[in-house]
């Protein structure tokens, strides 16, 4: 198996929204995005699969060394071998790849967040930097696209946190800020319940509205001239926003089950979004 095949398989196995958004890319960009996403999965899996925090910390330290070798020497892992080809074509920054590892390390060091200000750093490291790396692969001309990537990453991570609130709590991690839980009268035991209360519903609605605000802010920044180049990110955004709308329309059943979209639904969103962005691009040229 080649390094590119390894990364593609890693992406496909995840059944992620990323995979469906990659379908409309040209081969070099698809290879690069598969390599980037496979890297994200590798470092994320370290935290999720290691029961011993010390083992996980050592593995993340190994990945730090591997990223150093990627930029300043010879990497060894299939993912970094694939990324080696990527950085020859696209200007990915070493600091962003390392920032993602710092986000994973936060999962080993913190299980609670006092305020949204504290949580924002985590969201930036595990999601916004992925957006900043992605736009370098997809290409952009306007500086505001950087702000788009930052805000979209925040939105997608906040949707993830809402979707996974029960699963994360069972793993001992609560990402909803502690001061906001107190504000809405929600204690940690309520997150282990199978039933919502008026308090949890109000708390979840507050989180959903914040995610939507970041989503809207992202697209306020995205210049029309960069939209078509960034269609992969837009497809991801549409899939995630459809998930958020489903969670809200079902009145936040996230304490009972993890809400998801069917694969056919994701494919439909990807196809219709790609067609819409193509038509918008053609209008700009006219």
Q: What is the mean pLDDT of the chain?
A: 94
DSSP H helix total and E strand total for the chain: 15, 0
The pLDDT score that the predictor gives to residue 48 is: 83
Question: What's residue 15's pLDDT?
Answer: 58
Q: Which residues have C-beta within 8 Å of that of residue 271, sequence separation ≥ 6? A: none
pLDDT tens track for 75-104: 999 999 999 999 999 999 999 999 999 999
Pairwise CA distance, residues 154 & 145, whole Å: 14
Note the pLDDT of residue 194: 86
Q: What is the pLDDT of residue 16?
A: 67
Closest CA to 31 of 84, 91, 93, 108: 84
Domains (range + CATH), the chain = 1-109 (1.10.600.10), 111-279 (1.10.600.10)
pLDDT per residue as tens digits for the range 22-54: 888 889 999 999 999 999 999 999 988 887 889
**Local confidence pLDDT in tens for the 286 residues of the chain:** 899 999 988 888 765 677 778 888 889 999 999 999 999 999 999 988 887 889 999 999 999 999 999 999 999 999 999 999 999 999 999 999 999 999 999 999 999 999 999 999 999 999 999 999 999 999 999 999 999 999 999 999 999 999 999 999 999 999 999 999 999 999 999 999 889 999 999 999 999 999 999 999 999 999 999 999 999 999 999 999 999 999 999 999 999 999 999 989 999 999 999 999 999 999 888 7
Beta strands in 63-140 (DSSP E): none
Residue 192, class by beta-carbon neighbours within 10 Å (0-12 exposed, 13-18 middle, 19+ buried)?
exposed
- Lookup result for tokens 């700009």: 284
Q: Return the CA Rg of the chain.
A: 19
pLDDT of residue 117: 96
Distance in angstroms (rounded) separating the CA atoms of residues 107 and 48: 9
Q: Give pTM, 2 decimals.
A: 0.94
């Amino acid at each position: 198996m080649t390094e590119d095949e390894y990364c593609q398989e890693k992406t496909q196995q995840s059944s992620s929204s990323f995979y469906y958004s990659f379908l409309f890319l040209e081969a070099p960009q698809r290879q690069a995005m598969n390599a980037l996403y496979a890297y994200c999965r590798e470092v994320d899996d370290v935290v999720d699969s290691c029961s011993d925090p010390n083992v996980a910390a050592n593995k993340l330290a190994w990945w730090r060394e591997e990223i150093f070798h990627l930029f300043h020497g010879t990497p060894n892992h299939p993912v970094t071998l694939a990324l080696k080809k990527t950085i020859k074509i696209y200007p990915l920054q070493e600091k962003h790849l390392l920032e993602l590892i710092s986000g994973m390390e936060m999962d080993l060091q913190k299980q609670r967040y006092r305020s949204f200000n504290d949580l924002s750093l985590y969201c930036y490291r595990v999601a916004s930097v992925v957006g900043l790396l992605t736009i370098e692969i997809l290409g952009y001309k306007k500086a505001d696209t950087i702000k788009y990537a930052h805000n979209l990453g925040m939105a997608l991570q906040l949707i993830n946190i809402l979707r996974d609130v029960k699963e994360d709590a069972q793993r001992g991690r609560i990402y909803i800020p502690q001061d906001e839980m107190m504000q809405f009268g929600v204690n940690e035991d309520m997150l282990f319940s199978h039933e919502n209360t008026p308090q949890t519903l109000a708390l979840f609605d507050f989180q959903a509205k914040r995610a939507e605000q970041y989503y809207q802010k992202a697209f306020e920044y995205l210049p029309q001239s960069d939209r078509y180049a960034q269609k992969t990110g837009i497809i991801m955004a549409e899939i995630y926003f459809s998930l958020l709308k489903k969670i809200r329309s079902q009145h936040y059943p996230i304490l009972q089950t993890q809400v998801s979209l069917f694969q056919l639904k994701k494919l439909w969103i990807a196809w219709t979004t790609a067609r819409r962005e193509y038509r918008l691009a053609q209008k700009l040229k006219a």
